[in-house]
Amino acid sequence: MSKRDDFGSSFIEPISRRHKKDSFESGQPSLDYYLKKQASQDVKRKVAVTYAAIDGRKHVIGYYTLSSFSIRLPELPAATIKRLPKYPQIPATLLGRLAVDESHQGTGLGEHLLMDALARALRAASEIASYAVVVDAVDGRAIDFYERYNFVQFPDNGQRLFLPMSIIAKAFSDPAI
């Protein structure tokens, strides 16, 4: 896992009305629609929090969402289940969406957003239990992206992947990151 401490003049903050979303195009219509039409409503309803990478002109150049989640124990790989208490569900954090504007794809912004999301999830897990960060990859390219960061596919749902908080904690405690 790697992390970038500096990403040019962009920064990440909770989405607000002052952010310009209309020109955002990631190449994934469902992710574009969510940012433009649904994200603010989900924030208002406390269903998800959206964090946006903002350029100097307040344009959203990337974003991700976080919310609470639970994993049904039988959905996890057998080796993982053996190490967990036999509760019907295990608490987790859902990284529901992550998208980068086409003009910034291939620049490392996706990695920057992912590292920010993992760091926030790890901090939150110190106050509200969360075994792992779970993602629902939109396509094969997204699966490849998450697997580069050691996410593991759920056995019966290849589009859903997870990364245990213990691995995230080790990664962020490594001074090389």
Task: Name the residues annotated as catalytic.
Answer: 146
Q: Which residues pair with 125 in a beta bridge?
A: none
User: Are residues 35 and 60 in contact, defined by beta-carbon separation less than 8 angstroms?
Assistant: yes
User: Are residues 96 and 67 in contact, defined by beta-carbon separation less than 8 angstroms?
Assistant: yes
Give the whole-angstrom CA distance, residue 167 versus residue 96. 19
Q: Looking at residue 102, what DSSP letter applies? A: G
